[in-house]
Amino acid sequence: MRASTPKAWVLRSPAAPERAQELAVQLGISHTYATLLANRGFRGSADVQDFLEPSLDRLLDAFTMRDMDRATARIWKAIDEREAILVYGDYDVDGITATTLLTSALMRLGGKVSYFIPDRIRDGYGFSARGVDVAKRRRTRLVITADCGITATQEVRLAKQHGIDVIVTDHHEPLGVLPDADAILNPKRRDCPYPFKELAGVGVVLKLVQGLEQHRPGSLPAGFVSHHLDLVALGTIADVVPLRGENRIFAKLGLERICNSEKPGIIALKEVAGLRAKRVESGHVAYILAPRINAAGRLGNAESGVRLLLATEPGEAMTIAESLEEDNTMRKKIDEATLEEALEQLQAMGPELPPAIVLWSDRWHPGVLGIVASRLMERYHRPTVLISSDHDEGKGSGRSIPGFDVCQALQECREHLIGFGGHSYAAGLTIRSEHLEGFREHLCRVVSERLTEDDYVPKLSIDGPLLLDECNEALVQFLDRLSPFGIGNTEPLFIAENIQIAGSPMVVSRNHLKLNVRQNGRELECIGFGMGHLAGPIQTEPGRVSIAFVPTINVWQNRARLQLKLRDVQIR
């Protein structure tokens, strides 16, 4: 099997020493902590305090978003006149949480509201002609999209022909002419002055909820927004948007809300995922909670995710959560089989990796393509598109590396495609099967023109060297204040060089590397998730190694101990 692409360790550009010294004095922190902050771009204590202590008071005015006045006025008209409102969502976690939040708010405001989540395979992505049929059958006068609709020009026109008004809320990239909707809330509109452009779909919906309350102060109970930040954090973290600006406020405060959520659905979800008694962090959302919510949309009925999050009875919530757990178990099996087939295809293409990985099969389930594409992209660090195709048509998912906009690349390859949409890191597409080869050649050409050999090397951004003697609980607690981590706020990463291995490395659980390291008499335990393949090389090449790591506190059976979480190992 083809080996994964080795990582390059790149030290962050150090800030001027005087800036670190100023932060140390202003904040009363150690030079090590101050240097970490300075190297991450913080210029003064006010910047640091705003970052470390996010507050809802610092959210932007919802009415700076274009069309917010039109959207709120039309929705309040529908509520006042008891018009049927349909919330039309998307089948991923962002769309499901956005649908749940908007439905909850409209119900609380007295709206006559229902929701609809399309079927991934039958309906495809976004607001569809079938969605218009659903709206007609429900005698809907107003459709509000959640996390979709920005490219639905024909579908919006069709809805209008049937006397149905449409408000689009979305965060994906607009492509060409905007739909002729009654209002379009999307900070990525070129004519939108809203200063923060990186909201997830659920974040845009939250701004709409704020706008509705601003339009009629007191219409929502005090604390409504903070009460639903658990939903906003789930969607924001799951959609892998940059965790800075408003997204950081949503994620930081929302994770706290998830830990203490009173929603039966979230309690049940944590229960089946084994997180009921744990502090939920961004990694738990991305790799444990979100996949379970997504599983319904990948393999079954995505509306069960909304029903889970809207559930008011613990028994109902647990029944749905257990069903999602079963779907997720099945999804994992399909993932593994699809990945294995994709790796075999890639191996058969020869020893040299292509500029972009484009693979297809009539045996692949469309619901898992995004996950498997992400795994191939992470392993080989190049744009990846996987397509489930039959004799006539294929549906695919693409994932990309930092610095390459996959949605823009699809725009350049549009002559081969029936449709596409998404954002810079993730996109979906439909394609005629006879265009598959031409699409692969065209995308590879676009990628090779844009990227250099250096771009194909995955980079680990290192905050700096750290002695094992400097690793302690106080440092871990300080690093925790910088969380949650993700794009735009990566987890602090350190290196220790010329480390001795104490004893023999072991492979534990599901291919995890466990070993002890020693430096200047200090010995610490390390865990490398998914790095079990390194145990053999470390064992057969005894000597000194260098490690890239994050200091953490591991709690096991009510005992807490310092542990280094490995991100990479270099054997000298």
Q: How far is CA 441 from CA 318, 358, 359, 376, 390, in A?
A: 48, 9, 12, 19, 20
pLDDT of residue 1: 54
Whether the full predicted model's pTM is greater than 0.85, yes or no, is yes
Is a pLDDT exceeding 70 seen at residue 415?
A: yes
**E strand or H helix that includes residue 569:** strand 559-571
Do 503 and 516 form a contact (C-beta atoms < 8 A)?
yes
Sheet with 393-399: list strands edge to edge. 357-361, 384-389, 393-399, 426-432, 417-422
pLDDT of residue 2: 64
Q: What are the beta bridge partners of residue 566? A: 549
What is the chain's mean pLDDT, rounded? 93
Tokens 């405001």, residue located? 109
Mean pLDDT over residues 282-308, rounded?
89
Give the burial string for 363-401 (b: 16+ CB within 10 Å, else e).
ebbbbbbbbbbbbbbebbbbbbbbbbbeeeebbbbbbbb
Q: Which domains does the chain have, with CATH numbers?
A: 8-15+459-571 (2.40.50.460), 58-219 (3.90.1640.30), 349-456 (3.10.310.30)
Q: Where does the pLDDT of residue 404 fall: very low under 50, low under 70, confident under 90, or very high at 90 and above? A: very high
N-terminal to C-terminal alpha carbon distance within the chain: 24
Is a pLDDT exceeding 70 seen at residue 266?
A: yes
Mean pLDDT over residues 141-164, rounded?
96
Quick: pLDDT tens for 442-486: 999 999 999 999 999 999 999 999 999 999 999 999 999 999 998
Q: Where does the pLDDT of residue 230 fall: very low under 50, low under 70, confident under 90, or very high at 90 and above? A: very high
Quick: pLDDT tens for 354-380: 999 999 999 999 889 999 999 999 999
Is a pLDDT exceeding 70 seen at residue 543?
A: no
Of the ranges 133-137, 527-531, 553-557, the best mean pLDDT one = 133-137
Residue type, position 141, single letter: R
Mean pLDDT over residues 194-220, rounded?
97
